[in-house]
Chains A and B, each alone.
Chain A
Amino acid sequence: MVDNNRYIKRKFGARIWLSGGWLFFLILVTLFAPLISPHDPLAQDLFASRLPPFWMDGAESGYYLGSDSLGRDVLTRILYGARIALIVALIASTATCLIGTILGIISGYFGGWIDLIVSRLVDIWMAFPPVLFAILLIAVLGTGLTSIIIAIVVIDWTRFCRVIRAETMSQGAMDYVSSAKAAGRPKFGIMIVEILPNVLPTIVVLLTLEMGIAVIVEAILSFVNLSISTDFPTWGGMISEGRTSVHQAWWVIVFPLITLFFTVLSFSQLGEGLKDRFDPVLR
């Protein structure tokens, strides 16, 4: 079945390049946002309000993707909004991954009362409707980037925990684990040296998926104004503000929406592509 594998590898090549490419590009422009943005993201200019994107009539130079009702440049705000999205994505997903994975591996490997406690915890936790939970948390913690990150971690760690626990249990039943025991490897050694490498592809997929989810959650929260202060641009905030003028200036909603869509899509596709790269077996 060699040829089948080669075929699969080729397909994923495109996937990784496209998604990774987009994300890399996004990270670059985000880092250099102050240098390359045509304008100040907060600067309002009522004389330049509702300008269309560059290929349409009535466009003005310098406002490539148009401007919103307060004359702020859409492109600049998208670039700065990307900073928020990426910061949340990277920090929240990493923290969620760490907590969920550690608890998942421990409960999956040890079983017994440790597993009982963690599993009950996960069951109860997952009974809360996530969006409501998030809003509740923000109400308690107040708005701001840290609160969003905490909210995402608090809600989503169970996703990692459940899946990693199941994977750990199935790997733990394998004979190579028994063999490690027979050689005298201590329990923590088994979890890290033997089991973790086999669970890694799953972790990678979940991590990138979580990044996409984090971006969406931030967008939802900023859509309902529960994110950061309303001045600093966020994609969700732009979409929310753009609703009122969607008929006269559709570009205010559409461009942030497209960027949001491609970013989330890229995260999940990157995960799919990386998972198979990580796996030397590829059966």
Chain B
Amino acid sequence: MEDNIFQIHNLSFDVSDMSRKPIIGAAPKLQILKDITINIKRGDVVGIVGGSGSGKSTLGRIMLRLLEPSSGEILFNNIDITHLTEAQLRPLRRRFQMIFQDPMSSLNPRHRVNGIIGGPLKLQGFQNINDLIRQALDLVGLPSDFKSRYPHELSGGQRQRVGIARAIALRPDFILADEIVSGLDVSSQAQILSLLQNLVTELGLTLVFISHDLSVVRRLCNKIIVLQEGEVIEQAKADKLFDEPKHAYTRELLSAIPLPDLTQIWE
């Protein structure tokens, strides 16, 4: 019996396509996610890849109940969390956290760093919050006097680290990282990725890493799920996927990556 930390059964998500709404009547539905079934095993580092419009970000947010699915089930640690109320969900929330893509919009510009990290800690009823904040900043390699800074006083890479600190401060079992290095330059990207790798080992986390960049995903993940237009196209162990991609779309994704390598020929 596999120890699955998250199970997604037949998950679908539709939105109304307002741009094609007739004058009388309802707008047609756009299917963002189509009947997705996925299991995330505890301790895995899973990469979810796909182009824009594949629904990968939406899937992530639905898993964490930041969006409501149209149908299907989400199970966390074998508990059905699909229809729990916010009050019922609250104590569970500290076990699954998220790191967001845009460090500019994911940190409240009016809060200082210690409020940004301390807020969730207070909400979840932790004691000795100051110590926990210091530990979290330490784990991500930021000096503790950053506590009193505002987001605009930090660089992009530093803001992203604060986002990571906020997520791990709650000592979750599971973290979802949504395109967290997409806006960063190569050096910052490398720093954040190796930080993440260390944290996964040190804190025993299960990680789902959403990205459109397969090179980055390979570095980090042991399993990969490929999405296209709301459907799971292929899922396999990372090595297997890269060495023997089964689906045409996967092959297309792999061949589209521009390697810094003159021997790669693009036709």
Nearest residue, chain B, Cβ from A186: B86
Known: A175-B100, A184-B123, A185-B119. A281 touches B150 (CB 8 A): yes
Main secondary structure of the interface of A (DSSP, over half): helix
Query: Residue A150 at the B interface, CB < 8 A?
Result: no
Are A183 and B119 within 8 A (Cβ)? yes
Bound Cα distance A242, B150 (Å): 55
Are A198 and B124 within 8 A (Cβ)? no
Are B170 and A183 within 8 A (Cβ)? yes
Q: Whole-angstrom distance from the CB of B265 to the nearest CB of chain A?
A: 39
Contact size class for B? 20 to 34
Are A197 and B108 within 8 A (Cβ)? yes
Bound Cα distance A193, B122 (Å): 13
Contact size class for A? 20 to 34
Residues of B within 8 A of A180 (CB): 108, 119-120
Bound Cα distance A248, B190 (Å): 82
A164-207, CB < 8 A from B: 174-176, 178-187, 189, 193-194, 197-198, 200
Query: Residue A247 at the B interface, CB < 8 A?
Result: no
Give which listed residue, A178, A179, A181, A280, contacts B110 with CB less than 8 A.
Answer: A280
Residues of A within 8 A of B109 (CB): 198, 280-281
Are A184 and B110 within 8 A (Cβ)? no
Bound Cα distance A180, B150 (Å): 17
Residues of A within 8 A of B150 (CB): 280-281
B86-139, CB < 8 A from A: 86, 89-91, 93-94, 97-98, 100-102, 105-111, 119-120, 123-124
Query: Residue B9 at the A interface, CB < 8 A?
Result: no
Are B108 and A183 within 8 A (Cβ)? no
Query: Residue A283 at the B interface, CB < 8 A?
Result: yes
Query: Residue B216 at the A interface, CB < 8 A?
Result: no
Bound Cα distance A283, B104 (Å): 12
Are A175 and B119 within 8 A (Cβ)? no
Known: A193-B119, A280-B152, A281-B152. A182 touches B98 (CB 8 A): yes
Known: A175-B102, A184-B89, A184-B123. A198 touches B66 (CB 8 A): no
Q: Whole-angstrom distance from the CB of A94 to the nearest CB of chain B?
A: 22
Bound Cα distance A181, B110 (Å): 17
Residues of B within 8 A of A179 (CB): 98, 100, 106, 120, 163, 166
Nearest residue, chain A, Cβ from B101: A175
Nearest residue, chain B, Cβ from A187: B86
A sample of 23 cross-chain residue pairs with beta-carbon separation below 8 angstroms, ordered by A number, consists of A174-B105, A175-B105, A176-B108, A178-B98, A178-B100, A179-B100, A179-B120, A182-B93, A182-B97, A183-B94, A183-B124, A184-B93, A184-B120, A187-B86, A193-B119, A194-B108, A197-B110, A198-B108, A198-B109, A198-B110, A280-B110, A280-B150, A281-B150
The 9 lowest CB-CB distance pairs between A and B, nearest first, are A183-B120, A175-B106, A197-B110, A184-B90, A176-B108, A175-B100, A184-B93, A174-B105, A175-B105
Q: A residues touching B (Cβ–Cβ < 8 Å)?
A: 174-176, 178-187, 189, 193-194, 197-198, 200, 280-281, 283
